[in-house]
Amino acid sequence: MDIRMNMMLSIAEVTEETQEQARRIVCAGLEERFGELDPSYNKDLDHIVNWYSGQGHLFLTGALEGQIVCTGALIQEGRDVGRIARMSVWKPYRRRGIARCMLEELERRARHKGYGKLVLETTASWLDAVQFYQANGYMEIQRDEEEVHLEKVLSHHAR
């Protein structure tokens, strides 16, 4: 990982002006993984600001030199549990530590919100994604043919 990445990557909440770029990054990643994209499964991306901010959740974008290159979301799952979602890095910018920077920022904000635990799910066949989360302290708690569910305890007060 580029140690300077934290200083170079500018992470901010999605805005009306940035939500279309964010949607494109997430959709491109999904299409790459699945080979096609079914918009009916991604209604939260129709208007990201309304869906996330309007419900008290958080959707972040990461930019390098003004170009949005990654996304990540934090959804309240329970009183002290958050869910990581919509983690995506635009393909030309992968393997530079960008996803790790986004994940660390989501974790920092989760702690600030008082979450003691984070959960997430990813597609079982996406081995690089599973390995990424495990390398960042997430433990597998459940697996089936399609999905892997992981969690990370942020504090010992999590229920």
Pairwise pLDDT comparison (39 vs 101), residue with the higher score: 101
**What gap in Å lies between CA 23 and CA 32, rounded to an integer?**
14
Q: What is the pTM of this model?
A: 0.89
Residue 86, token pair as written in the block: 């919509």
Q: pLDDT category, 54, cuts 50, 70, 90?
A: confident
Token digits of residue 110: 């989760």
**Residue 80, CA atoms < 13 Å, CB-side half-sphere:** 12
E-assigned strand segments in 14-66: 58-64
Domains and CATH numbers, the chain: 5-153 (3.40.630.30)
Mean pLDDT, rounded, of the chain? 89
Average pLDDT over residues 122-134: 92
List, for residues 67-100, the tens digit of each pLDDT value. 999 999 999 998 899 999 999 999 989 989 999 9
